[in-house]
Structure 1
């Protein structure tokens, strides 16, 4: 039973569930309100005919320290399987293999880049080293001094354009953000290079959905199919209005964590300061289409992750061969492949039917896996929007101002992956921070001296 009061948490993705988990540990009674009919947000595992398909996020790097800590606390340690980390980089019809957890070493040895390009890469390594201490999962605005240009502009300025940009820098950006390196902040590239790549990779035995489902199972009150309408900070706590299958409701609690997509928050929290509301409303999010392909036989490709550079395909940025990544993803004599498309391609195709979506991208996929279409038993097309914040140069400088103006004494605190480069760990860290800062605000409020009674 709660010792500190009821706290509402809006959203049951990794951010909201992490916030609720930490609040429960501090003695609160979290009530999670989720609009979907399931928990997990962009974490979704689908099982069909012996195939275990990840419809959304598919990898868990060891570097995701906050996620890994919750995995252990939720009792999922024995459900983690070390994944094969072999990356296949395409160039001129050849596949060049590099290991994610040995990326720097393999980059020196690979024939993906010419000796001249490898020498230039020393500048990239030096710049990455300089930035290492300001690349934060919790708040990437601490790197705002470097948030002045795109990865493409950075590469041109540092003499890293040409093959080094086309076959290494830009593919990393596309693989992590789903957009080309001409569109987002250079800070994003350095974050992906240092905070996502370069570590061991893991997968869950029964799929990524195990993680949010285990967190939800450890909470006492998780409500699905709930559309939150408004959250108001009152003199005594918070008032939350929502709609569910039984109608409209209003409830009160001690506080609230809002982990919705950033551009939805101002409508939910009308009491936000105007400049903070404007920052959130102006956040743009990317789209993505992922396509799970159940295959009648396994392709010859040896890598688990195929990185597709822009010279090979404008629309396809990665393929994941799930049967190579970890055992148990499909029957032993079959294969499972997932295609991931860029934001621009997804926007153009998101309204198309499944057959048209596949037809429009399969040709590019077959540059990596010839005759792939001949082995497809069935497919699942997953349309995602919103996905990640579109981090145009300057976003993280604005984020710094947004954070500096937050009211630490408020009973309403915000979470969500827009605080840093979007991924599961970023979302988790944001939820944990919101829970911590809400607890601090409530603790200060409860310990403040009460006004003296006025004599009658």
Structure 2
């Protein structure tokens, strides 16, 4: 609180879910906040684009009832009426057939026919491990407790604790949700994804950016405001930003929350501790290209998503049936489908234009799911390509131990606080939690007038 009795102003850089959650919580506490966003609209990866009546959620599409913090934020914003429980049927393709199961019914895996009965002992071992380690795998965690589990790849865990059938037809397709494959993925990601998927799901009626739109409506967000530097100064921070056609802006505040991808945060905050900068600059994001198809006739598929083991196709990871998640994704009688790839495919085709990517995706569909390919090509109404340079974080064995050490090494008194998916498990709710944590730290700093000891 300053000499006039009002609370100190705070600047937040980045209007994604992490940044705007931090800003909203600070605003609730009475701090004047200002949010700077380089893009022309807020939302980050929790954003929706509309084309020809189709609502395409660009990154976050699957929301889980045990996202406790997100549910609380929805209540605090007064938008509970915009959400609903949704279909949580997941399919896995094997031998040209879709094996369907409800995500919150583990027994469906036994009944689906995906695995032989000889894999039942592996299922029981996995359930035992999830029961044993579940308390370490939490959305509100900085993953410090999970670091002790981070000793092998998902593939090595499957070989040691499960069996070959489970490895090829469950562990492998689950890894596709991270655009990855078991030999490159920490076992923590696989273990984390199992209780996450084994839950009820919810979503917003029409579009997932209902949440970020509600936040933006309550916050002073400056769009097209490209921040060029954030520096800690005595008793505060100084932020430099620019907008095309305007002179450079310089603003000061009591503190700042930087809610941007790790490498971007490192570039903008050169005064942070060297160890902090090194970690941020090397956060191992992988790229993603995914392709939406609007069709004027709904296919018969009832699942929300169908996962593809590499034995079914080496590149295609997931096909989502967005109209099955919640209403409003497609016009009446129409359907919206999205194809996601494992990240090496995205790297190979990153420079291809959108028309070429759509053409390649049609070819992949013909190889992996011929019936669906024929349906899309006969009824295609719209196609849209989305690219994310920093899609998800590729966590290999040992990375969660490094994350634990990074979090423990951050200076709690620094006037520049960080938020983002690289501080926890790479998921929407975890990003939101890092924003709330950053807001708490900022409140403590400006209340006590603490001075940074280690700069980051």
Q: TM-score, normalised by structure 1?
A: 0.93
**1:140-179 alpha-carbon deviations (Å, 9 max, x no partner):** 1321111111100111122x2411011111211212x111
C-alpha distance in 1 between matches for 2:412 and 2:384: 44
Please say if 1:153 is aligned against 2:156: yes
CA contact (8 A) 1:179 1:342 kept: yes
Q: Which moved more, 1:431-440 or 1:42-51?
A: 42-51
1:411 paired with 2:415, answer yes
- SS of the equivalent of 2:113 reads coil
Q: Structure 1 CA distance, aligned partners of 2:326 and 2:410?
A: 43
**How far is 1:214 from its partner?**
0.3
What corresponds to 2:45 in structure 1? 42
Q: Count residues in correspondence.
A: 442
Hey, what does 2:222 align to over in structure 1?
Answer: 223
Residue aligning to 1:395:
399
Q: CA deviation at 1:302?
A: 2.0
SS in structure 2 opposite 1:3? coil
2:108 aligned residue: 106
Equivalent position SS for 2:30: coil
Task: Compute the RMSD of aligned alpha carbons.
Answer: 1.7
Which whole-Å CA distance do the structure 1 matches of 2:315 and 2:240 have between them? 41
Partner of 1:332: 332
Q: Return the match for 1:425 from 408, 417, 429.
A: 429
In structure 2, how many angstroms separate the alpha carbons of the residues matched to 1:173 and 1:207? 26
* Shift in CA distance, 414/2, structure 1 to aligned 2, threshold 3 Å: farther
Contact 2:207 2:328 in 1 (8 A): no
Match of 2:135 in 1: 133
Q: How far, CA to CA, are the matches of 1:331 and 1:405 in structure 2?
A: 50
Deviation at 1:224, TM superposition (A): 0.5
1:300-340 CA-to-partner distances (Å, cap 9, x unmatched) read 22212111111112221111112222233223332221111
Higher mean C-alpha displacement, 295-304 vs 208-217: 295-304
Question: Secondary structure of 1:431's partner?
Answer: helix
User: Equivalents in 2 of 1:322, 1:79: separation in Å?
Assistant: 17
* 1:454 corresponds to: none
Which residue does 1:199 correspond to in 2? 199
Quote the offset at 1:385 in angstroms.
1.1
SS in structure 1 at match of 2:449: helix
Paired position in structure 2 for 1:450 = none
Say if 1:184 and 1:392, in contact at 8 Å, map to a contact too: yes
Partner residue, 1:55: 58
Q: Retained in 1: the 8 A contact 2:20–2:216? A: yes
Relative to structure 1, is the Cα distance of residues 64 and 445 closer, same or farther in structure 2, using a 3 angstrom cutoff? same
> 1:317 — aligned with what?
317
CA deviations over 1:219-241 (Å, ceiling 9, x no partner): 1x210111111111111211111
Aligned to 1:277: 277
- Residue 66 in 1 paired to residue 39 in 2? no
Secondary structure of the equivalent of 1:286?
strand
SS class of match (2:190): helix
Do the aligned residues in 1 keep the contact of 2:206 with 2:327 (CA within 8 Å)? no
Partner residue of 1:142?
145
**Contact 2:204 / 2:326 at 8 angstroms: preserved in 1?**
no
Contact 1:136 1:420 survives alignment (8 Å): no
1:71-100: per-residue Cα shift (whole Å, max 9, x none)? 121122111132211111110111111011
Looking at structure 1, the residues matched to 355 and 235 of structure 2 have their Cα atoms a distance apart, in angstroms, of 55
Secondary structure in structure 2 of the residue aligned to 1:247: coil
Asked if 1:297 is matched to 2:301, the reply is no
Query: Displacement of 1:370 after TM fit?
Result: 4.5
Runs of 5+ unmatched residues, structure 2: 452-456
**Cα distance in 1 for residues equivalent to 2:341 and 2:351:** 14
Tell me the equivalent position of 1:121.
123
Verify the 8 A CA contact 1:56 1:290 in the aligned structure 2.
Answer: no
Report the Cα distance in structure 1 between the residues aligned to 2:189 and 2:330, rounded to whole angstroms.
34
Whole-angstrom CA distance in 2 between matches of 1:161 and 1:420: 30
**What does 1:177-216 align with in structure 2 at a 5 Å threshold?**
177-194=178-195, 196-216=196-216
Q: What residue number does 1:360 align with?
A: 360
Task: Tell me how far apart the structure 2 counterparts of residues 338 and 106 of structure 1 sit (CA, whole Å).
Answer: 25
Q: What residue ranges of structure 1 are gaps of 5+ in the alignment?
A: 448-456
